[in-house]
Structure 1
Amino acid sequence: MKAAVLEAYNQPLVVKQVADPELAPDGVILKLEATGICRSDWHGWAGHMPSSIRSFPHILGHEMSGVVEQVGSGIRNFKKGDRVIVPFSQGDGTCPHCQAGHHNVCDSMKMVGFSFDGGFAEYIHIPNADLNLLHLPDGVDFLTASAMGCRFMTAFHGVVAQGSVRPGEWVAVYGAGGVGLSAIQIATAAGANVIAVDIADDKLEFAKRLGAVATINSKNVKAPEAVKELTKGGANVTIDALGIQDTFLNSLFSLNKRGRHVQIGLSSNPNGGMTPVPLNLMIMNELTIAGSVSMPIPEYREMLQMVETGKLEPGKLVTKQIALEEINAAFDDMTNYAGFGVTVITKF
């Protein structure tokens, strides 16, 4: 099969022929129809996640959808020809967290495209597929499915489950990349008034088209002050979709009393994201900070239903469709923070 292969950190991916994946009894082999390119892929390519990529060569890619090509002898829930979407985080189904429905924090969690070869290829093998694969509703196409593969479902979990965003609340989203734009659309659909904060005017303009009622360019003004002025006291919820110290702290300083902060953006700092925290502000204003990673399997059903009925439109995030051979240009754009929206590979 053809694949884009990572042979060394920070080096162009090599598009070449590699061996087809082998089928395990509990696994499914998919023919991929669409794979999104996420900043997490870029972090992996840049060497920011060395504990996740154990050896080279390696195939990245974790936002994918496709058609079942082969099923293992132990598979009960899928058959050849089924249309499916692949959750990013893969649980083993046996730990206490999985059994409580929180597969995204499984004690033995595996991540597609990191723990094992991913979707920058024509085919992929998904282990433990009866647990870690989902049927794609007939009303959702492959492009839309791959647009929600990681960033959209991560934002959904952050907004709905971790942030508990309610109608009429003010939500400030720091960072208008893939996760941030997804959070803006989802929080808007939940009935919130959303403020988008970024340093790029084109991303902020796109955020307006996705439902943001106001935008703030933090290069020009002090964002926390601007948020508090717009909301007459501070946001009920803030979401840091970027993961740097400035956006984390500005998110906290943007909150009203008893506000809730959701941290989705991962830090690329080698110290694991260690950063100062304004403890006195947290205590006196009774602020809450919640981490948010990926999304547990049970929440997918609600999200997919909202997409199928048109309440959510992740396809609107897609700004570019490319061939697998164009993947290095997409990574260059991420390195230079160029462009906006979601890029999806649709030609393999």
Structure 2
Amino acid sequence: MKAALLEGINKLRITNVPTPKCKQGEVLIKVGVCGMCRTDMKAYMYGQRDLRLPRIIGHEIAGTVVEMGEGVTQVKLGDRVQVAPGLPCGSCSYCLQGLHHMCDYVQIMGFHYDGGFAEYVLVPNNGVSCGVLNKIPEELSFQEAAITEPLACSINMQESLQVGLGDIVIIFGAGPLGILNAKLAVARGANKVILIEINENRLAIAKNREFHYCVNPLQTNSIKEVMEVTGGRGADVVIPCCPDPDVVGTGLAMLSKRGRFGFFSGLMMNFGSIKVDFNLIHYKELRVYGAYGCSSLHNRTAVEMLVTEKVKVKDMITRCIQLEEVISGIKMIADMKEMKIVINFE
């Protein structure tokens, strides 16, 4: 089968590798579409903490079941499925709580196991038994289904923050995850969604969506503008969806009393110190939540939201490429030239 094999930093080649064969409990997926994201870009350009090389990367996978090992009952041949990329052990204390993404022994497709930048991907026994394969109906395209995982990550964050009816929500960053979080906040009943973005192209696109305010902090005092929009109260929720460390302090300053701050995006490498007035947390009783990745349940919830169109993502897919174009796709992600890029194998 044809695959994009990452062998080291800036060393990725399109090559032929053996098509995996199913052992007991395993499932082989013919990849229909695999999404691309900044994590793939980081793996290629800088390396990644969990990456084990050489590796076929790619973790936003949707495709069709074409082979099953003995004992598989969760799916059948021909099923259209989305693959939740985290492969939990299923038996540790976190797994038993349903927190598969917090599993002490979690393995990740595209990092520990070969991922979706290939014509076929093998889902190991522990992933199949822990429910990482989510069936998708014909009416949901593989392109849309490939956005399940980033939406699931957003669901993990917003469930922790309890984003809900009447909330004023600030999103830093109008990239793919910023837009997904903004769409999700609207779906969860937020009263106002305020997007803060310095990239004018992304800001212009965001202004044509269903959000309430779009702010460029390079052109205005964003804290002052948020206070004007909220009648001096501040926001209920702030979610940075960008790696800029400066937004931590700015975001905390925008919160109302008892506001919630979601630590969603990892910060850029070698960021040094962060200027934060931690007394704000004390005096305003702010609450700070972290969120990393997503569980199998988050992925199932995301699939349901896509199928029912509570969150619509078709308008986010701005570039569909072939596997041979994967390096140019990575460079487009780095240059922020597209909203969402997917690799099409159909």
**How high is the TM-score relative to the length of structure 2?**
0.93
Q: Tell me how far 1:322 sits from its aligned partner.
A: 1.0
Per-residue CA deviations over 1:256-283 (Å, capped at 9, x if unaligned) read: 1110011111123147x87454321110
Query: Which residue number in structure 2 is paired with residue 230 of structure 1?
Result: 229
Partners of 1:181 and 1:64 lie apart in 2 by 20
Partners of 1:212 and 1:202 lie apart in 2 by 16
- The answer to whether structure 1 residue 32 and structure 2 residue 31 are counterparts is yes
- The answer to whether structure 1 residue 162 and structure 2 residue 160 are counterparts is yes
Query: Which residue number in structure 2 is paired with residue 143 of structure 1?
Result: 143
Matched to 1:91, the amino acid is P
Contact 1:185 1:210 in 2 (8 A): no
Q: Which runs of 5+ in 2 are unaligned?
A: none
Per-residue CA deviations over 1:213-237 (Å, capped at 9, x if unaligned) read: 0001122223222222222221100
Alignment of 1:90-169 (within 5 A): 90-127=87-124, 128=126, 129-131=128-130, 132-148=132-148, 150-159=149-158, 161-169=159-167
Per-residue CA deviations over 1:53-106 (Å, capped at 9, x if unaligned) read: 2222x2110001000111111322112111110113221211111111111111
Seen in structure 2, the aligned counterparts of structure 1 residues 254 and 24 have a Cα distance that, compared at 3 Å, is farther
Partner SS state of residue 184, structure 1: helix
Alignment of 1:161-310 (within 5 A): 161-192=159-190, 193-232=192-231, 233-270=233-270, 275=274, 277-310=276-309
Q: Tell me how far 1:208 sits from its aligned partner.
A: 3.0
Moved over 6 A (4+): none
Query: Which residue number in structure 2 is paired with residue 16 of structure 1?
Result: 15
Q: Tell me how far 1:308 sits from its aligned partner.
A: 1.5
Q: Which runs of 5+ in 1 are unaligned?
A: none
Contact 1:65 1:84 in 2 (8 A): yes
Partners of 1:340 and 1:171 lie apart in 2 by 25
Matched to 2:249, the amino acid is L
Query: Which residue number in structure 2 is paired with residue 72 of structure 1?
Result: 69
Q: Tell me how far 1:206 sits from its aligned partner.
A: 2.3
Per-residue CA deviations over 1:299-318 (Å, capped at 9, x if unaligned) read: 33333222222221122211
Partners of 1:145 and 1:208 lie apart in 2 by 25
Query: Which residue number in structure 2 is paired with residue 344 of structure 1?
Result: 342
Q: Tell me how far 1:293 sits from its aligned partner.
A: 1.6
Per-residue CA deviations over 1:85-132 (Å, capped at 9, x if unaligned) read: 011322121111111111111111111111111110100011121322
Q: Tell me how far 1:40 sits from its aligned partner.
A: 1.0
Partner SS state of residue 305, structure 1: helix
Partners of 2:277 and 2:73 lie apart in 1 by 51
Deviates more, 1:105-114 or 1:240-249: 240-249
Per-residue CA deviations over 1:16-60 (Å, capped at 9, x if unaligned) read: 2112123231211100000000111111112241x312222x211
Percent identical residues: 30
Partners of 2:228 and 2:86 lie apart in 1 by 39
Q: Matched residue pairs, number?
A: 341
Partners of 2:286 and 2:338 lie apart in 1 by 31
Contact 1:147 1:317 in 2 (8 A): no
Partners of 1:91 and 1:104 lie apart in 2 by 7
Matched to 2:288, the amino acid is I
Alpha-carbon RMSD:
1.8
Contact 2:134 2:303 in 1 (8 A): no
